[in-house]
Structure 1
Amino acid sequence: MLASPERRKLHAPWVSDVRARLKGVDFSPLRAVVPPTGYVPDFLTPAPGAEPADIAGELEKVRSTTPEHFVDEVAWMAADSGTPAAWRAEAAPMHRRMLDEPGQAIRTITHLLDVYWRLALDPHWRRLHGGLQSDIRSRTRVMETSGTASVFSSLNRRVGWEDSRITVRSAYDFKEKLGGRGLVLVPSIFCGPEVLTMLPPLGSMIVYPRPDVGEIWNRRRLEHSSALASLMGPVRAAVVEALVAPATTTELATAIDVTPGAISQHVGVLRDCSLVHSRRAGRKVIHSLTETGEALVLGSRPVSHAA
């Protein structure tokens, strides 16, 4: 996404921040396994498991890639005609070194993914995570009321559902019977406009672009003079805005710059109004928006007239 001027337009606030953070870091080994178009090695994108995972666990999955698996996928990518010829020529020396020393290449790529996470994604993760969770919640409600077929049909114009068959419009030809193995749907902030797939023998996965990604960055410009703040006061408005991603009392206090005691009082009022739900997880209490709270937050934002 960073390499494409057209894709960067929707993410301008993030791009301007990230470019400054990434200066001076040599990401060329990582760029050599992420072509502008075409096949991206599957070891970089392990399918989510049943339990929530943190970044350390996800990086460990990448780090545990076997050299044989790495060589197969990088060699396939290096020969893929779907990647730009100019990119393949530029990356060829790096690919040869990786294929000669796959163990070292895996360690280098995992390290660079960690650096990239810390510089480019971690500072914005609550906003990104909130946007992804919002999409998952809305599709879960569609599934509950209208069934699975409606979810697949509404994912993206490149995805179709007919006669219990899922089709993804792609440059590659592949057919597979899932045989009850299941399919993981993964919303993405940055993959648009493509729909990406991962296929057996790895976990079957469809990665689709989250609609209206621009509004995720527009949240940064919300002022306390907004209609929502006028309705419920600036602190409570800030609390429900911050809860686009679930958070603890301490996290909310840090994000909004008020005391944890004040946060607890405001959350209590919002909970009594059925706008916030709280649940205990070990020693922490995690707060999240209810369906009503989410609708209130989304409905308070001005409609964008951008093309």
Structure 2
Amino acid sequence: MITVELSATALAATRFGLSPLMEIGTVLNQWHPQARRGARWAHAARDTVVRHDLRLLAGFLGQHRGYVPDFLNPLPAGYDADVDRELHEVATTPPEQVAAELAAWVRGKRGTGPQSARHARPVLECLHHGEEVFAQRLADELALFWAHFLAPRWPTVHRRLEADVDRRAKAAARDGLGALLGGLDRTTRWHDGALHVTRPFHRTVRETTGLLLLPSTLAGHVGVGIDPLGVRPVHLVYPATATPSTRHLGDVLGHTRTALLQDLDVPRTTAELARRHHLAPSTVSYHLGRLHRAGMVQRTRTANTVRYHRR
């Protein structure tokens, strides 16, 4: 379990950010051929890396259980990051930061097998030319990956990210930041003034400056970014919820379930839905159970309150 304790200042400064390079970073951090969302984009990502001979990115691809250097995906300073500015930030990363983060990456590669070592070789060979050259070449590869993989998809991706932020901001206005944080996905829970993220290990950190929330259309689960030096704020890359098309859903799901599903753009309790739709709580509970088993809604618990929201 990762526990993120938030000071009052950090909670007040919690914000969203949209970042093209963070979306690419999700490919590097969470790519896996059997990932739940992998079928949509994993093959296209790998084809892009192979076709354009992006050897440095190939060295990092598939490190979903390891560490990918933070400088590959700088945190957006504002709400909506500009990709050219982000690429410039990667290219001009201070040499000492490149060296420290790549050293941590190399330590994490030890004992990972011959195939992993083969992919890492171009990274280490390029590093022999110096950290500044390495940062520039990595920025060039990221630019190619952006141009051929993500840029054609970005208008659609951006609309989905914006829609997710709009929905969650509305939910926060209605139910509070705790409900927002606890409802990022099935692994997050807000309890006793802290955010708890389910993981197979235990770590507690305290964030005092601000929490950054980064929606991603490619993330399969919430990723927690913790800077060991404490320079970057704690940030969460979380799965952006899609807005399902409700056209003709009534013919498939039935009009009661369709109405409930359409009303779950923000998290709601069974009692709230029953009141809004003039239904018995037991009826709402039954339909929500069917929608949950079908994977169309997810539920989150904050203290003793269970809320449902649309995936």
CA RMSD of the aligned region, Å? 3.2
Contact kept in structure 2, 1:189 and 1:209, CA below 8 Å: yes
Structure 1 distance, partners of 2:213, 2:111, is: 25
Equivalent residue for 1:236? none
Determine whether 1:48 maps to 2:54.
Answer: no
Give unpaired runs (5+ residues) of structure 1.
228-304
What residue identity is the alignment partner of 1:152? L
8 Å Cα contact 1:198/1:206 also seen in 2? no
The equivalent residue for 1:74 is: 102
CA distance in 2, matches of 1:82, 1:164: 38
Alignment partner of 1:209 is 2:236: no
CA drift of 1:31 comes to: 2.1
Give secondary structure in 1 for the equivalent of 2:167: helix
Provide the residue aligned with 1:167 in structure 2. Answer: 196
Number of equivalences: 220
Amino acid at match of 1:125: W
Whether 1:141 and 2:170 are equivalent positions in the alignment is: yes
SS at match of 2:189: strand
- Find the counterpart in structure 1 of residue 32 from structure 2: 4
**Residues 1:93 and 2:93 are matched in the alignment:** no
Q: Report the Cα distance in structure 2 between the residues aligned to 1:92 and 1:13, rounded to whole angstroms.
A: 26
Tell me the distance in 2 between the aligned counterparts of 1:126 and 1:110. Answer: 22
CA contact (8 A) 1:195 1:209 kept: no
The superposition leaves residues 163-191 of structure 1 with CA deviations (integer Å, 9 ceiling, x where unpaired) of: 11122234665433222x01000111112
Residue 207 (structure 2) pairs with residue 151 (structure 1): no
Q: Deviations over 1:229-279 (max 9, x none)?
A: xxxxxxxxxxxxxxxxxxxxxxxxxxxxxxxxxxxxxxxxxxxxxxxxxxx
CA shift at 1:16, angstroms? Answer: 6.6
Which residue number corresponds to residue 60 of structure 2? 33
The residue that corresponds to 2:213 in the other structure is 185
Following TM superposition, by how much is the alpha carbon of 1:88 offset from its aligned partner in structure 2, in angstroms?
A: 3.8
SS of the residue corresponding to residue 186 of structure 1 reads strand
Q: 1:142-170: CA deviations, max 9, x gaps?
A: 11000000001100222222111122234
**Alpha-carbon contact 2:48-2:145 (below 8 Å) kept:** no
Q: Given the superposition, is the C-alpha separation of residues 169 and 72 from structure 1 closer, same or farther in structure 2, using an over 3 Å criterion? A: farther
* Residue 117 (structure 1) shift: 0.5
Taking every aligned residue pair, what percent have the same amino acid on both sides? 24
Query: Residues 202 and 148 from structure 1, CA distance in 2 versus in 1: closer, same or farther, beyond 3 angstroms?
Result: same
Q: Distance in 2 between matches of 1:62 and 1:203?
A: 18
Q: 1:124: Cα distance to partner?
A: 1.0
Q: CA 1:40 to 1:136, structure 2 compared with 1: closer, same or farther past 3 Å?
A: same
Structure 2 CA distance for partners of 1:209 and 1:87, relative to 1, 3 Å: farther
Cα deviation, residue 211, structure 1: 3.2
* CA deviation after TM superposition for structure 1 residue 59, in Å: 0.8
Deviates more, 1:192-201 or 1:57-66: 192-201
The letter of the residue matching 2:100 is D
1:234-249 to structure 2, matched below 5 A, reads none
1:126 aligns with 2:155: yes
* 2:79 counterpart of 1:60: no
What is the CA-CA distance between 1:81 and the residue it aligns to?
A: 6.2
The structural deviation recorded for 1:21 is 5.8
State whether residues 196 and 207 of structure 1, in contact with CA within 8 Å, keep that contact through their aligned partners in structure 2: yes
- Displacement of 1:138 in angstroms is 0.6
Indicate the residue corresponding to 1:107 in structure 2.
136
- Bigger relative contact order, structure 1 or 2 (CA pairs below 8 A, ≥6 apart): 2
Contact 1:36 1:83 in 2 (8 A): no
Q: Provide the C-alpha distance between the structure 1 equivalents of 2:96 and 2:196, rounded to a whole number of angstroms.
A: 30
Counterpart AA for 2:234: S
CA distance in 1 between counterparts of 2:201 and 2:131 reads 26
CA contact 1:128–1:189 (8 Å) conserved in 2: yes
TM-score, normalised on structure 1? 0.62
The structure-2 alpha-carbon separation of the partners of 1:150 and 1:172, relative to structure 1 and needing over 3 Å to count, comes to same
> Counterpart in 2 of 1:230?
none
